[in-house]
Amino acid sequence: MRPIQRRQQNLQYGIYLLCMQVLNFGIDKIPPATLITIIAQVLLYIGFIKVPWNAEEVCISAIKIFKYHDWKSFIMSNFEHGSDMHLYYNMISLILKGSYLEPMYGTINFIILLAILSFGCSAMYTVLGYALMQLTSDYGYYTQCAIGFSAVLFALKVIVVCEEHDKIRDVGGFRVPSKIAVWVELILIHLLVPQSSFIGHFGGIMIGCLYCYTSIGEMIDNIIYIITGTPIIHEEQFYRRRSSLFR
């Protein structure tokens, strides 16, 4: 997520880079739900999908939700992007995470999980914005507006780490244990890209942690199973991590 900046429609280099990366990765290697999600967000960004709003109008903020009940922003802010490069980096990240998780969980299950994570990230963003305003008396937290899929991506990062065996990851040139990699990335992005939404990224991590480490995740899995009739099967270490919080 990023605080909103006006889209530059004449700058489309990021779309070109994304197409090249998709071709290099192999379209056939990208699972269907992941690929459709990427295509839909690209088409939305370039205006091929006609919607009765622009990106600036559906940025999410605590004040828009709590005071004005702007549910359109609550839903659509995750799928709009402020620039072509913002879209590019988010979709490359989605390719990697979706290609790992979607085959493991199943396409329909993954779609529903993405929807739940999107809803959760929007809710967490608004709650954090309101709470920080109350704690610091800084009204800026209440009104800060952001768009983008990166909050959901941070939630997916946490889930990927929980599914994998512990390993060393490279984050911006730093080799760190996978269990803290997402926190290191959060700090690095905030330092290197100060216009990015720290609240949005942090909220995404919190949603990922709720799914991985608490009974909320088990409830979500049960809901998905009731809807699709197909259970989400996690790796053994995922179940150990989820249960470790209560030991």
State the pLDDT at residue 176: 86
State the pLDDT at residue 103: 97
CA distances in angstroms from 236 to 19, 155, 229, 242, 243, listed in the order given:
36, 20, 21, 10, 11
Full domain range(s) for residue 39: 13-244
State the pLDDT at residue 247: 47
- In a domain, residue 1? The reply is no
Residue type, 150: S
- In a domain, residue 7? The reply is no
- In a domain, residue 198? The reply is yes
Compute how many other C-beta atoms are within 10 angstroms of the C-beta atom of residue 174.
11
- In a domain, residue 90? The reply is yes
State the pLDDT at residue 10: 46
Could you say which residues of the chain have pLDDT below 50?
4-10, 246-247
The Cα–Cα gap between 80 and 41 comes to 7
Number of domains making up the chain: 1
Burial status of residue 122 (CB atoms within 10 A of its CB: 0-12, 13-18, 19 or more): buried
Structure-block tokens of residue 193: 């890209």
- In a domain, residue 44? The reply is yes
Q: What is the pTM of this model?
A: 0.92
State the pLDDT at residue 168: 79
SS3 168: strand
Active-site amino acid positions: 150, 201
- In a domain, residue 4? The reply is no
- In a domain, residue 5? The reply is no
- In a domain, residue 236? The reply is yes
Token pair 């919607």 in the structure block, residue: 51
CATH of residue 34's domain is 1.20.1540.10
DSSP-derived letter for residue 51 is -
